[in-house]
Amino acid sequence: MESLQELKPKLHYKEVVLESECDIERLPSFDMIFFLLTPTQIGHKFFKKAVEEVFKVRKNSKTIFLAIDDCHRLDDEDVIKVTLELKASIKDIMKNPTVFKVSSYYASLHHQFERGQLTLEDLRRNREVMVPTQDGDMIMGKKLQGDHPAMLLELSKMEQLFELVQQFSSGIRNAGIDVAKKNWLVVGPDRTGKSLLTNLLQQSVGENNHFVENDIAEVDLGKYYDGMFVIFDLEWDKYSSYLEKICTSTVGSEKMIIVNKVDDFMFFDQSRDELLKEIKTKIQSYTSDPIYFVSASYYQQYIKLLQGEITVDDIIADPEIILVDPLNFPINKVRNKTELSQLLLDQSGFIQLLQQIGVMDDAREICRDEEIFSEYF
């Protein structure tokens, strides 16, 4: 505890508490959480309970960090053993977490020496201070020389945590993520409707998911986001090099390929089914990630209809809304007036997309006015 308090100006953390003083229910409210455990604390019920409490709110482990402290007292074999024990103790909660091996005590001694609060003689009298040589021997006591105290910070490996705190806190702000939700990066060429799609997804499934529109070149996908939506439209041939670049630079990341504006199929010299099949085949030559064909415009109209912002007559009067039958022939909207809302939803393609994200129902969940909903169903 004293070592961490000593390092507070360097770490820039908000609060450090002992196990006995920790209010577990408050943990999810912090952007980042570091569990700094001594070897004797591995497997304690408190630690597992604290991690479980965090995961009641958080959807991933990206903002939870684990470190084994007092590693200056362990040999290499013991460090490996303790690390494996730590991972095993929470394997049902966090899969293969990154574990830092540090010595906050050595880092604290280094900073006290730098400020003149400790002398070389103080360090020589401290039997825990041991500095390795290139030959693998350990120097301690009177053999410690003036250049050895500077090595304590490197031996502590706390500098890695210093840098991680600074980089990650800045990255969280720049990436715009919400630590309490599953975070999705939305990317795609201009004029493919990605902004509208981002807003609709946030509106529909934002309770447990967070969507951020950004440029793939400006972020570290794996560090901050849990997955990616890649948005295109029916003019696929213009974007093949873009998808190839995305796929080669994000290997192993969860991705969903979204082909938007399927309602524009009338402008192509192919039937709707033939066009979508051809595009799907081309995309599959680059990636095995799931592909969804949607119309953000139709889904937006569906939401507006449910929420009373527009009427069925507005849908009928809108010449850009062309709904089709199973043979892809335009339907008569007047004769199918009572079915227009369902047709909009079905032909928007959003039911399948939302189910994949984890919403087992569709946009009905975001409709706040049941009377509006029942008017059309």
Give backbone dihedrals phi and psi of 367, rounded to 5 degrees, phi first.
Answer: -75, 120
pLDDT value at position 357?
A: 83
Per-residue pLDDT of the chain (377 residues; tens, 9 = 90+): 455 555 555 554 555 556 666 788 888 878 888 888 888 888 788 888 888 888 887 777 778 889 999 999 998 899 999 999 999 999 888 887 889 999 989 998 998 999 999 999 999 999 999 998 888 788 899 999 988 999 999 999 988 887 877 788 788 888 888 888 888 999 999 999 999 999 999 999 888 889 999 876 555 666 788 889 999 999 988 888 988 888 888 887 889 999 999 999 988 888 888 999 999 999 999 999 999 999 999 999 999 999 999 999 999 999 999 999 888 889 999 999 999 999 999 999 999 999 888 754 444 444 434 333 333 33
- CA–CA distance, 67 with 34 (Å, rounded to integer): 7
Radius of gyration of the chain (CA): 28
The answer to whether the 2-170 and 181-376 domains have the same CATH topology is: yes
Q: Are 99 and 66 in contact (CB under 8 A)?
A: yes
Residue with structure tokens 């308090």? Answer: 5
On whether the CB atoms of residues 153 and 3 are closer than 8 A, the answer is: no
pTM, two decimals, is: 0.73
pLDDT at 279: 95
Q: Are 213 and 186 in contact (CB under 8 A)?
A: yes
**pLDDT score, position 186:** 94
What pLDDT, on a 0 to 100 scale, did the predictor assign at position 377? 33
What number does CATH give the domain 2-170?
A: 3.40.50
Going from N- to C-terminal start, the domains of the chain cover 2-170, 181-376
pLDDT at 168: 81
pLDDT at res. 17: 59
In CATH terms, the fold of domain 181-376 is Rossmann fold (3.40.50)
Residue 32 is predicted with a pLDDT of 83
Cα 115 to Cα 24: distance, rounded to the nearest angstrom: 35
Query: Which residues fall within 8 angstroms of residue 71, CB to CB, at 6 or more apart?
Result: 79, 101, 102, 103, 157
Which residue is associated with the tokens 């799907």? 280
* pLDDT at site 141: 93
Distances (CA, A) of 188 to 96, 128, 183, 215: 32, 56, 17, 8
Alpha helices in the chain (DSSP H): 2-11, 45-55, 76-89, 104-114, 120-125, 151-156, 158-175, 194-205, 221-224, 240-249, 272-284, 296-306, 312-317, 340-348, 350-357, 370-376
Q: Please give the distance of CA 58 from its chain centroid, rounded to a whole number.
A: 10
* 117, two tokens: 């609060």
| Cβ 328 vs Cβ 293: under 8 Å | no
CA 200 to chain centre: 19
Nearest to 102 by CA among 178, 230, 202, 3: 3
The owner of tokens 């039958």 is 325
Give the Cα separation of 203 and 196 in Å (integer).
11
